[in-house]
Amino acid sequence: MPDTDPSFPSFANLGASPPKDFDVQAIARDWISAFAGSIDNRDVHNFISSSLHHEPWWRDQFALTWDMRTFQGRAKIETFLNDRLAETGFGKVEFIKAFFQPVAPDVAWILIRFSFETAVAIGVGVARLVYCADSVWRAVTVSTELVGLKGHPELTSADRDFRVNQGNWAEERKREVEFVDKDPEVVIIGCGHSGLEVAARLKHLRVSYLAIEKHARIGDNWRMRYDFLTLHDPIWVNHMPYLPFPTCWPVFPSAKKIADWLEFYAETLELNVWLSSEAVSAVRNKATNKWDVVVRRGDGSTRTLHVDHVVMAQGFTFKKTVFPGQEAFQGQIMQSNDFKSAKGLVGKKVVIIGACTSAHDIASDCADYGVDVTIHQRSSTYVLSIQKSILAFLPASEWEGSPTEEVDSNRMSMPLHFQKGLAQRGAAMIQHLDKEILEGLTKVGYRLNNGIDNTGVLYLLLQNGGGYYFDSGACQKIIDGKIKMKSGTEVDKITKTGIVFKDGSKLPADIIIIATGFDDARAPIRKIVGEDVGARIPTIWGPNEEGELRGPWREPKDLPGLWPMMGNFAWSRHFSKMIAMQIKAKKEGLYGTRYAASSA
The CATH number of residue 525's host domain is 3.50.50.60
SS3 56: strand
Domain end marker among 115, 149, 183? 149
pLDDT at 319: 84
pLDDT at 359: 95
pLDDT at 231 over 80: yes
Q: Does 6 map to a domain? A: no
CB 1 within 8 A of CB 425: yes
pLDDT at 598 over 80: no
- Residue 128 makes CB contacts below 8 A (sequence gap 6+) with 101, 109, 110, 111, 112, 139, 140, 141, 142, 414
pLDDT at 4: 60
Averaged confidence pLDDT in the chain: 94
Q: Does 162 map to a domain? A: no
Position 242: which residue type?
A: Y
SS3 353: strand
Same domain (yes/no): 195, 301:
yes
d(C-alpha 298, C-alpha 274), whole Å:
9
Kindly indicate the confidence band of residue 268, based on its pLDDT and cuts at 50, 70 and 90.
very high
Least confident of 10-14, 389-393, 496-500: 389-393
pLDDT at 42: 94
Same domain (yes/no): 210, 284:
yes
Mean pLDDT for 302-321 is 93
How many separate domains does the chain show? 3
pLDDT at 164: 81
68-72, 161-165, 169-173 — which one is most confidently predicted on average? 68-72
Same domain (yes/no): 474, 404:
yes
Same domain (yes/no): 173, 298:
yes
Q: What is the pLDDT of residues 76-121, one digit of tens each?
A: 999 999 999 999 999 999 999 999 999 999 999 999 999 999 999 9
Same domain (yes/no): 216, 346:
no
CB 496 within 8 A of CB 328: yes
Same domain (yes/no): 504, 372:
yes
Mean pLDDT for 54-81 is 97
| CA 61 vs CA 65, 147, 413, 495: distances in Å | 7, 9, 8, 52
Same domain (yes/no): 92, 226:
no
Mean pLDDT for 557-571 is 95
Same domain (yes/no): 424, 408:
yes
65 phi/psi in degrees, rounded to 5: -125, -10
Q: Does 1 map to a domain? A: no
pLDDT at 599: 39
Residues in the chain: 600
Kindly indicate the confidence band of residue 227, based on its pLDDT and cuts at 50, 70 and 90.
confident
Same domain (yes/no): 290, 213:
yes
Kindly indicate the confidence band of residue 387, based on its pLDDT and cuts at 50, 70 and 90.
confident
Mean pLDDT for 437-456 is 96
d(C-alpha 65, C-alpha 88), whole Å:
9
Give me the domain span that covers residue 205: 169-317+520-587
Same domain (yes/no): 498, 550:
no
d(C-alpha 462, C-alpha 540), whole Å:
11
- Residue 165 makes CB contacts below 8 A (sequence gap 6+) with none
SS3 545: coil
Answer positive or negative: Cα dihedral of 70, 76, 78, 79: negative
Least confident of 225-229, 264-268, 456-460: 225-229
pLDDT at 3: 59
What value, to the nearest 5°, has the Cα angle with vertex 547 and ends 542 and 550?
40
Q: Does 599 map to a domain? A: no
Q: Does 195 map to a domain? A: yes
- Residue 15 makes CB contacts below 8 A (sequence gap 6+) with 132, 133
Q: Does 176 map to a domain? A: yes
Q: Does 156 map to a domain? A: no
SS3 594: coil
Same domain (yes/no): 367, 312:
no
Q: Does 472 map to a domain? A: yes
pLDDT at 35 over 80: yes
- Residue 203 makes CB contacts below 8 A (sequence gap 6+) with 155, 209, 269, 270, 271, 272
Q: What is the pLDDT of residues 334-373, one digit of tens each?
A: 999 899 999 999 999 999 999 999 999 999 999 999 999 9
E strands present in 7-136: 52-61, 68-72, 91-104, 107-117, 121-131
d(C-alpha 578, C-alpha 580), whole Å:
6
Same domain (yes/no): 537, 508:
no
